Structure 1
Amino acid sequence: MSDTPVPALPVVFRPQRTRFVLLGLGTAVFVVITAVTLMLERLSPAERVSFVFTAALFLGILVLLSRPKVVADDEGVTVVNLTRTRRLAWAEILRVNLRPGDPWVFLDLSDGTSLPALGIQPGIARERAIRDARALRALADARGTGTDAG
């Protein structure tokens, strides 16, 4: 991937379309359920609260699903997945992988483990995910001990 330009730092990789769909859908469902709940006169206050709470819970889950991102800066990479955030130095990243059929990028680490990076996923925007994976790979190659692998 030597022909891939190294992006300027800091850079944030995030599945924008997926995030837009999840947050838009969650907000719309919350607004609709809340509006319908307030318009139904036969509901008790406890029932209203339970409907709004359920809508808020649904929105919260979609916000959680829209959280993943990968932030690269001069010191390293921060991988934000659904519930965990991990900070990596550039030297810890040996390889950036996005193989055909992978749901997201995997980072091969110097401790022998592999870390999924959900912030780069080819679900809705395959070409962008490939471009982002190549950019992150170029950064890892330029800044760390990374090696190029398919």
Structure 2
Amino acid sequence: MSDLPALPVTFRPGRTRAVLLTAAVVLFAVITAVALLLERLGPGERLSFVLTGALLAGVPLTLARPKVVADETGVTVVNIVSRRHLDWAEILQVNLRQGDPWVFLNLSDGTSLPALGIQPGIARQRAVADARTLRALVEARSVQDPERSSGDAQS
């Protein structure tokens, strides 16, 4: 258990996030530059170009949002438009199978929650390591929860 990271720990798709953030900045900069370089545009039209650039840059910024944060109280999964906090006891299993686009968390209520913060897209090795670390954290925390341990023994 000594090889587990200190809590809190945040998992993010680092390379994918870097690409998306760079794309957002470039998109905004190009559209703003076009607005400034077109001499025939009035101030209102230039402003509309800049606002359009900001809105379009918001798309990759939103796609860069996913993360998984593990802390003493549990795991917070932040996906593109949702955020959910799970107690450690709610997570039964952490899955990242061959071909999965991201990690899935099997929950005690019988559902599965996608955790987009760990995705193999550009960096498969990193995603596999992050999934293993999260799985080890879940297993270590379940041992500390006697109610969960007794529930697992009955299954």
Q: 1:57 aligns with which of 55, 58, 61?
A: 55
For 1:112, what is the secondary structure of its paired residue?
coil
- Counting only pairs closer than 5 Å after superposition, residues 1-150 of structure 1 correspond to structure 2 as 5-144=3-142, 145=148
Deviation at 1:25, TM superposition (A): 1.1
What whole-Å deviation, never above 9, does each CA across 1:63-91 have from its counterpart, x for those lacking one?
A: 10000000001110000001110000000
Amino acid in the other structure paired with 1:38? L
Preserved contact between residue 5 and residue 138 of structure 1 (Cα < 8 Å): no
Q: Which range moves more in the overlay, 53-62 or 98-107?
A: 53-62
Deviation at 1:45, TM superposition (A): 3.0
Report the RMSD for the aligned CA atoms in angstroms. 1.8
Deviation at 1:28, TM superposition (A): 1.2
- Matches of 1:37 and 1:111, distance apart in 2: 52
5+ long unaligned stretches in structure 2: 143-147
What whole-Å deviation, never above 9, does each CA across 1:9-60 have from its counterpart, x for those lacking one?
A: 1100001111111011110110121012112111233332222122111111
Amino acid in the other structure paired with 2:44? A
Deviation at 1:92, TM superposition (A): 0.2
* Alignment match, 2:145: none
For 1:12, what is the secondary structure of its paired residue?
strand
Preserved contact between residue 34 and residue 51 of structure 1 (Cα < 8 Å): yes
5+ long unaligned stretches in structure 1: none
Amino acid in the other structure paired with 1:16? G
For 1:124, what is the secondary structure of its paired residue?
coil
Aligned length: 145
Q: Aligned residues: percent identity?
A: 66
Q: Rg larger in 1 or in 2?
A: 2
Q: Which range moves more in the overlay, 107-116 or 54-63?
A: 54-63
- Matches of 1:7 and 1:95, distance apart in 2: 19
Q: Which range moves more in the overlay, 32-41 or 84-93?
A: 32-41
Query: RCO greater where, 1 or 2, for CA within 8 Å and sep 6 or more?
Result: 1
TM-score (norm. length: structure 2)? 0.88
- Matches of 1:77 and 1:66, distance apart in 2: 19
